[in-house]
Amino acid sequence: MSTNRASRTSVPPDPSTGPWAFLAQRWELATLAVLAIAPLVIPALGGALGGQVTNLFIYCILALALNVMVGYTGLVHLGIASFFGIGAYVLAILTVPMYPFQIGFLAAAVIAVLVTAGTGLALGAPTLRLRGDYLAIVTLGFGEVVKVTLRNLEQITGGMKGLNPVPPPGAGVTVAGIDLGKEFAIDPRWFYYLALLSLAGVVLAMRRLENSRLGRALVAVREDELAAQAMGISATKVKLAAFAMSSAVAGLAGCLYAASLSTTADPNAYDFNRSIMVLCAVILGGLGSIPGTLLGVAILVGFDTVLAPWADSWIQQMNVNPKGLSYLSFSGWRLAIFGVALVLVMRYRPEGLIPSRRLASELRDGGAGS
Amino acid sequence: MNNNAGPAGTPLLHVDRVTVRFGGLVAVSELDLDVPEGSIVSLIGPNGAGKTTAFNCVSGIYAPSSGSVRFRGKRLERSFTPGTILRALAVGLLTGLLFAAAAVDVDRLWMAVVKRGMITGEPFTMSGAMERLRGYFRSELAIDQMAGKWRVVSADGSDVLAIKRDLGEARLVRDALQAKVTARRTGPGTVPDATDLNQREAAAAPLVALPVVKEEVLDRLAAGKSRIRWRGWLGLIAGLLLGSAGTLAVWQRGRRSPHVVARAGISRTFQNIRLFSSMSALENVLVGLDRTIPGGVFSMLLRTPANRRAEAEARQKAIAALDFVGLSGDANRIAGQLPYGDQRRLEIARALATGAKLILLDEPAAGMNPNEAADLAGLVERIRDRGVTVLLIEHHMNVVMRISDRIAVLDHGTKIAEGTPAEVRRDEKVIEAYLGGEG
């Protein structure tokens, strides 16, 4: 798993495998190990908390998908939630008992990922020549179009009711006397592990992407599109690849989301808010940085879906707020805290909490130069 | 040493009467320039003479307003192949299907084909689905279920004609009504349909009471067939035309993109350094090597041995390229943090890494002191000795006069002189352009 390409020859050490990078990688492995053991030690993860953390992992996958576009390639994408939604709905259509397909989770997930990648290509192909803000507006519009389409194709998507029940992964599959479908339905830890495994796979893929030919081309196009073209790189193809990869990974996150909720929820679950939330997480953590993105999600989404409800219930338990006044509940302040935190981070650490090596140097350099 | 150019015949680069206009402004006018293989040719002239514009024209950033640029006797543009047409058609077909889906109401189509198949309780089969698909496009009456009762409905489900408790009864009604609609569709005078209609009605009559269906509803149902087909075809064809034409238009506009020129074997540096400033020096050169690294996305994700080997080889080559320009010690430094002169050299290393046969250097010695400029002149000569032809824009006259095989002088977009350094140095017009004429 480790990408330890030791310098065998006279080649100076590759920066991606230098001591710092190695530490970073071990840090990732250590986190993975802790997260893998956690459910065995903390019983709470077998309950509602397990579901919340699973949700967090899914958000992490979605944020890494967005990072390919915004972080590596520098294309502002405001509609990532639509690909998340397409993934969820395709999986649901292929598995719900209401429709005749009812194929297994794995096959359905593969098809869903391919469909989202294809949709990404279809959106990207005509719009790639747009730059900066214009592309942002197109993706924003696409997000809304998808949401409204999902709502209006009532016969296919179930309209505001969504599609349900999405059977759990492994429904009907029995391995060594264990009915996987049942296990998934009963114990949230199964989903926890499935999401963790997927997240680890995506992180590994992103690591490899970063140090590959395509990854360099993505960054080159972000840095200077014309110069990249003058090096023989087809900016169009590179951006299309970014679109496809980003959409595919977002689709994977959507599959996990629908399966873990056992419903697609209503189309509003895939609206602009979710796109922006994920974008904020990526920017907060550090554009183009894998650990940064993960941390950004952990902070923003963790705050929103784990900490805020917990704080609310604590306040209620303490009986501080018997009248239910909104300014005495934590949720009432949730968005304010959120906004202030974002402002502070952008003021004091514009490159993000864990900046990518590349972008950090750029921003500090720019700051020193001006 | 003048004209130690390669073999006679076509020059490596042939610029033929190229004019570049920006609106009313003529940046380059009727420029002729030949660059023989293996030579160093310089383009000089005062500021604003159109040198960089000429470069941009050769490297595909601008298209010439008139005239042509040929590299090894060929125009540098993507060639029109059957693949181009196929791709355009594929995109067109996709657009067409999308349009058609919208035109025939994909939502109701789905209901008719997929959901109705589930309602009757029979196992879902492909042939059944195809049958229902055909039925939808023929606007045939269908049966569906709501609240435990069977309904005879129009194909798109918008008209409910009868409600029955029993599936068999519903089927009889459907058949009878369908015969009625078909008869209306084919016209009143057609005998076979009329008898068929009578027979079916007679067969159904003792079993079920046929509902009374209004005349206008029957008319609408009869017209539905042609309407939905017509809409589908219209959508498909409109999408096909729009999609294919659009793809071709975009292809046409991207024909002379810089990356096409670069892949043909022309690489360049920029007057205002355009490195990938947040990447390391090594990575910059690796981007230049991009085209020479084999392997696709999947070998990258799986990190196959072939992929590792390709990356390692590329790294070696990049180190060699950095070594060539004298930056071997700075491989892991961030490009944007290198000193100015090193950035220029890195840009040259990056351009060389593409494996170009012709390299365009836009003021490589700009901002250098005489010592550095002399080093650079040596570097340019070494590039030429590697078999790479050099076209140069430069203001350092020492450098230009020392290394050029030929010099072309531009002034106000026109070429005013061309020849060996010695010839150009003596040229009256050149002296006038540089020092200013009298009066």
Answer yes or no: are the C-beta atoms of B167 and B120 closer than 8 Å. Answer: yes
CA A44 to chain centre: 24
Q: In chain A, pLDDT over 70 holds for what percent of residues? A: 90
Phi-psi region of B344 (alpha: psi -120 to 50; beta: other; left: phi over 0): alpha
Backbone φ and ψ of B160, nearest 5°: -105, 120
Domain membership flag for residue A332: no
* Predicted confidence (pLDDT) per residue in B374-408, tens digit: 999 999 999 999 999 999 999 888 899 999 999 99
Range A240-247 average pLDDT: 96
Range B68-81 average pLDDT: 88
Interface of A with B in 83-142 (CB under 8 A): 98-100, 122, 125-126, 129
CA nearest to B157, candidates B143, B138, B177, B170? B143
* Of residues A18, A236, A362, nearest to B278 (C-beta): A362
Range A32-49 average pLDDT: 86
Identify the pLDDT of residue B23: 86
ipTM, 2 dp:
0.87
What gap in Å lies between CA A290 and CA B326, rounded to an integer? Answer: 34
Range A19-41 average pLDDT: 78
Q: Tokens standing for A249?
A: 């990974």
Question: Which residue bears the tokens 């009471």?
Answer: B209
What Å distances lie between residue A85 and A92, A249, A251, A297, B37, CA to CA? 10, 12, 7, 19, 57
Backbone φ and ψ of B15, nearest 5°: -100, 120
Distance from the first to the final alpha carbon of chain B: 38
Give the containing element (helix H, strand E) for B29.
Answer: strand B25-35
Q: Tokens standing for A225?
A: 């599109």
What Å distances lie between residue B376 and B69, B369, B401, CA to CA? 28, 10, 13
E strand segments, A85-160: none
Domain membership flag for residue A112: yes
Side-chain-side CA neighbours of A327 within 13 Å: the count stands at: 0
Count of the separate structural domains present in chain A:
1
* Predicted confidence (pLDDT) per residue in B333-367, tens digit: 999 889 988 999 999 999 999 999 999 999 999 88
* Predicted confidence (pLDDT) per residue in A181-213, tens digit: 888 888 888 899 999 999 999 999 999 999 899
Sign of CA dihedral B297, B301, B305, B311: positive
Q: What is the DSSP letter of A172?
A: T
* Predicted confidence (pLDDT) per residue in B416-431, tens digit: 999 999 999 888 888 8
CA A14 to chain centre: 28
CA A242 to chain B, closest CA, distance in angstroms equals: 11
| Percentages of chain B per state (helix, strand, coil), in multiples of 5 | 55, 15, 30
ω into A165 cis (within 30 of 0): yes
What gap in Å lies between CA A174 and CA B31, rounded to an integer? Answer: 77
Sign of CA dihedral B62, B68, B73, B76: positive
* Predicted confidence (pLDDT) per residue in B302-316, tens digit: 888 999 999 999 999
What gap in Å lies between CA A164 and CA A91, rounded to an integer? Answer: 11
* Predicted confidence (pLDDT) per residue in A153-176, tens digit: 999 999 999 998 999 888 777 777
Identify the pLDDT of residue B262: 94
The one-letter code for the residue type at B331 is: A
pLDDT band at B253 (very low <50, low <70, confident <90, very high): confident
pLDDT band at A346 (very low <50, low <70, confident <90, very high): confident
Identify the pLDDT of residue B118: 80
The residue of B125, B248, B283 whose CB has the most chain A CBs within 10 angstroms, and thus the best one to mutate to test that interface, is B283
Q: What is the DSSP letter of B411?
A: E
Parallel, antiparallel or unpaired: strands B149-153 and B142-146: antiparallel
What gap in Å lies between CA B110 and CA A267, rounded to an integer? Answer: 19
- CATH match of B13-78+256-265+356-435 with 3.30.830.10: no
What gap in Å lies between CA B86 and CA A232, rounded to an integer? Answer: 24
CA nearest to B402, candidates B427, B376, B367, B434? B376
What gap in Å lies between CA A186 and CA A190, rounded to an integer? Answer: 9
What Å distances lie between residue B352 and B4, B50, B70, B335, CA to CA? 22, 25, 21, 17
pLDDT band at A367 (very low <50, low <70, confident <90, very high): very low
Identify the pLDDT of residue B191: 44
- Residue B116, pLDDT > 50, answer yes
- Are A359 and B332 inside 8 Å of each other by CB? no
Answer yes or no: are the C-beta atoms of A87 and A108 closer than 8 Å. Answer: no
Range of the domain at A93: 26-270
How deeply is A165 buried, as exposed, middle or buried, from its count of CB atoms within 10 A (0-12, 13-18, 19+)? middle
* Of residues B106, B277, B288, nearest to A362 (C-beta): B277
* Of residues B106, B308, B315, nearest to A11 (C-beta): B315
Domain membership flag for residue A342: no
Q: Spell out a b/e string for A40-70, using b for 16 or more CB atoms within 10 Å of the CB, else e.
A: eeeeebbeebbbbbbbbbbbbbbbbbbbbbb
Domain membership flag for residue A67: yes
Helix (H) and strand (E) counts in chain A: 16, 2
- Are A227 and B276 inside 8 Å of each other by CB? yes
Range A147-151 average pLDDT: 95
Provide, as residue numbers in chain B, all residues whose Cβ is less than 8 Å from the Cβ of A211. 311
Parallel, antiparallel or unpaired: strands B74-75 and B66-71: antiparallel
β-bridge partners, B145: B150
Give the containing element (helix H, strand E) for B164.
Answer: strand B160-164
Question: Which residue bears the tokens 């958000």?
Answer: A59
CA nearest to A367, candidates A353, A354, A348, A341? A348
CB atoms within 10 A of CB A319: 7
Provide, as residue numbers in chain B, all residues whose Cβ is less than 8 Å from the Cβ of A153. 106-107, 110
* Predicted confidence (pLDDT) per residue in B40-58, tens digit: 999 998 888 889 999 999 9
pLDDT band at B4 (very low <50, low <70, confident <90, very high): very low
Provide, as residue numbers in chain A, all residues whose Cβ is less than 8 Å from the Cβ of B111. 155
Domain ranges across chain B: 13-78+256-265+356-435, 85-236
- Residue B216, pLDDT > 50, answer yes
Domain membership flag for residue A74: yes
Provide, as residue numbers in chain B, all residues whose Cβ is less than 8 Å from the Cβ of A154. 107
Q: Which residue of A has its CA nearest to B285?
A: A231
The one-letter code for the residue type at A65 is: A
Answer yes or no: are the C-beta atoms of A79 and A146 closer than 8 Å. Answer: yes
The one-letter code for the residue type at B361 is: L
- Residue B185, pLDDT > 90, answer no
- Residue A259, pLDDT > 90, answer yes
* Predicted confidence (pLDDT) per residue in B271-290, tens digit: 999 999 989 999 999 999 99
- Are A233 and B290 inside 8 Å of each other by CB? yes
Q: Which residue of A has its CA nearest to B260?
A: A232
What gap in Å lies between CA B105 and CA B109, rounded to an integer? Answer: 6
Q: Tokens standing for B10?
A: 């076509």
The answer for residues whose C-beta is within 8 angstroms of residue B221's C-beta and 6 or more apart is B139, B141, B154, B159, B181, B184
